[in-house]
């Protein structure tokens, strides 16, 4: 067949766009499809910050002169949008005991950025390189024919596109990944409903800080999170995770009206809202089958963060290039994938099992545990994997005191890892 392109990329997020851009730079004929009409109208809630930890996802990124430098993976991405540094992180107990995370000299450990601007810039680069970008286009299904993949597409009309290789970068819900059978080996722990509320005039929240509030007094098993936004001065993002049984909007109303935070929201104005539903699949340890490679959040446990998605796209394009040259590019990608992301290790369940604070511990128990270590400043990090390790390493220095004063808490600590991930998502 003469009408087979080299590569079809499904999904115009950071992973998909980076794949298309890098593949085009390597000389491949690429088509990218994206279901949204444009990137400025994206309404999906997203945790959009660059994490500056050295070694996070086996990388150390730097932001210099309008570029994101991936110093270990050896590539760069243009970014000219706004940035907000995050210099402090606080874990708050129901009665206000704080666990403080910061780096010496108030050095930023994360930087919030404008994801829409990043995607727009990447898309423009793709177009300039000759990528056939098709917006408002949905992949409905297809089949791997052995020598090529046939994908059914729906835009203004329904048609089929054939490609030698396909990269699926559709996001965490992995619908098309499932249609091609790659989710069969994965566990779907739960579906989280997430809403992000952009608020103006929130009282008493420190600028340039990330604040997590734990306890059932905040009406959720997940932390209620307040962090900076890019909407302007004195604006913050309130992020709430819920479930089918406890919708984010219901949690939001309770938090602003009845929780210990209600005074913080007395004069607050809601200026925007975003949301998403996220299926918490176990990670896809072998992210390819035949001529199809699954990358980014589509293959992850929940998410890879934007910087991880960019790395996935860069390595995926190089894998495709090798595959088309008759080499084992998919295996090379898989080896990198397994080593780069902590959720691919056998210990990643500790994040939500043994390390889970709610609902494992009551509000009173959280107050007790947080008070034990609130006078220390722990290492500044945004990492959802490193943070609980730092907390529990510090708490366990007081295990004899806990055993003596609060034996029930001590017994719970001894039984770490007995919860399931599904339990931690329930409300």
- pLDDT of residue 284 exceeding 70, the answer is yes
- Spell out a b/e string for 137-154, using b for 16 or more CB atoms within 10 Å of the CB, else e: bbbeebebeeebbbbebe
Give me the pLDDT at residue 349, please.
Answer: 59
Give me the pLDDT at residue 168, please.
Answer: 98
Residue 14 DSSP one-character state: H
Identify which of 32-46, 223-237, 326-340 has the greatest average pLDDT. 326-340
Confidence band of 416 (pLDDT split at 50, 70, 90)? confident
Confidence band of 137 (pLDDT split at 50, 70, 90)? very high
Confidence band of 427 (pLDDT split at 50, 70, 90)? very low
Distance CA 337, CA 84 (A): 29
Mean pLDDT of 164-191: 93
Confidence band of 350 (pLDDT split at 50, 70, 90)? low
- pLDDT of residue 44 exceeding 80, the answer is no
At 105-136, the pLDDT tens digits run 999 999 999 999 999 999 999 999 999 999 99
Number of folded domains that form the chain: 3
Q: Would you state the structure tokens that stand for residue 260, as one six-digit string? A: 């210990």
Kindly state whether residue 361 falls inside one of the protein's structural domains. yes
Looking at the structure, tell me whether residues 265 and 303 fall in a common domain.
no
Domain membership of residue 224 as a residue range: 89-99+192-277
Kindly state whether residue 20 falls inside one of the protein's structural domains. yes
Confidence band of 43 (pLDDT split at 50, 70, 90)? low
Q: Would you state the structure tokens that stand for residue 254, as one six-digit string? A: 């309770």
Q: Give the pairing of strands 5-10 and 158-168.
A: parallel
Confidence band of 54 (pLDDT split at 50, 70, 90)? very high
Q: Would you state the structure tokens that stand for residue 277, as one six-digit string? A: 């539903």
Looking at the structure, tell me whether residues 146 and 182 fall in a common domain.
yes
CB 341 within 8 A of CB 57: yes
Distance CA 110, CA 126 (A): 27
Q: Which neighbouring-strand residues pair with 61?
A: 70
Give me the pLDDT at residue 2, please.
Answer: 57
**Burial of 322 per CB tally in 10 Å (0-12, 13-18, 19+):** middle
Nearest to 78 by CA among 91, 88, 64: 64
Looking at the structure, tell me whether residues 369 and 398 fall in a common domain.
yes
CATH number at residue 238: 3.30.9.10
Kindly state whether residue 64 falls inside one of the protein's structural domains. no
Domain stop point among 277, 301, 324: 277
| More confident position, 358 or 143 | 143
Neighbours of 418 (CB within 10 A): 11
Nearest to 142 by CA among 133, 132, 134, 154: 154
CB 205 within 8 A of CB 82: no
Distance CA 75, CA 165 (A): 23
Looking at the structure, tell me whether residues 262 and 357 fall in a common domain.
no
Mean pLDDT of 243-260: 95
Distance CA 177, CA 171 (A): 10
Give the range among 28-32, 270-274, 275-279, 336-340 with minimum mean pLDDT.
Answer: 275-279
């Amino acid at each position: 067949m003469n009408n087979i392109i080299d590569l079809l990329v499904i999904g115009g997020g950071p992973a998909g766009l980076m794949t298309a851009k890098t593949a085009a730079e390597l000389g491949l004929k690429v088509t990218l499809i994206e279901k949204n009409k444009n990137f400025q109208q994206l309404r999906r809630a997203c945790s959009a910050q660059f994490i500056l930890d050295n070694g996070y996802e086996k990388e150390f990124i730097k932001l210099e002169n309008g570029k994101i430098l991936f110093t270990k993976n050896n590539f760069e991405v243009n970014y000219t949008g706004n940035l907000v540094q995050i210099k402090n992180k606080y874990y708050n107990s129901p009665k206000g005991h704080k666990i403080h995370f910061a780096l010496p000299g108030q050095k930023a450990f994360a930087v919030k950025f404008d994801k829409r601007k990043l995607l727009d810039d990447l898309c423009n680069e793709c177009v300039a390189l000759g990528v056939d970008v098709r917006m408002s286009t949905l992949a409905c299904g297809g089949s791997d024919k052995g020598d090529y993949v046939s994908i059914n597409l729906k835009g203004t009309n329904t048609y089929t596109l054939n490609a030698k290789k396909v990269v699926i970068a559709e996001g965490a819900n992995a619908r098309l990944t499932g249609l091609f059978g790659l989710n069969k080996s994965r566990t779907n722990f739960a579906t989280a409903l997430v809403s992000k509320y952009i608020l103006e005039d929130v009282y008493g929240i420190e600028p340039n800080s990330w604040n997590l509030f734990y306890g059932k007094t905040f009406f959720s098993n997940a932390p209620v999170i307040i962090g900076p936004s890019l909407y302007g001065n004195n604006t913050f993002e309130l992020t709430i995770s819920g479930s089918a049984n406890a919708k984010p909007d219901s949690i939001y109303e309770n938090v602003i009206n009845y929780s210990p935070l209600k005074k913080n929201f007395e004069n607050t104005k809601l200026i925007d809202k975003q949301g998403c539903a996220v299926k918490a699949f176990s990670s896809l340890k072998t992210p390819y089958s035949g001529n199809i490679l699954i990358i980014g959040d589509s293959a992850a446990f929940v998410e890879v963060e934007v910087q991880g998605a960019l790395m996935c796209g860069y390595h995926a394009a190089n894998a495709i290039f090798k595959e088309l040259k008759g080499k084992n590019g998919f295996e090379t990608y898989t080896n990198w994938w397994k080593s780069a992301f902590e959720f691919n290790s056998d210990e990643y369940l500790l994040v939500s099992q043994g390390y889970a604070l709610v609902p494992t511990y009551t509000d009173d128990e959280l107050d007790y545990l947080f008070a034990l270590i609130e006078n220390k400043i722990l290492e500044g990090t945004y990492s959802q994997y490193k943070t609980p390790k730092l907390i529990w390493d510090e708490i366990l220095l007081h295990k004899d005191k806990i055993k003596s004063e609060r034996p029930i808490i001590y017994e719970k600590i001894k039984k770490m890892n007995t919860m399931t991930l599904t339990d931690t998502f329930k409300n």
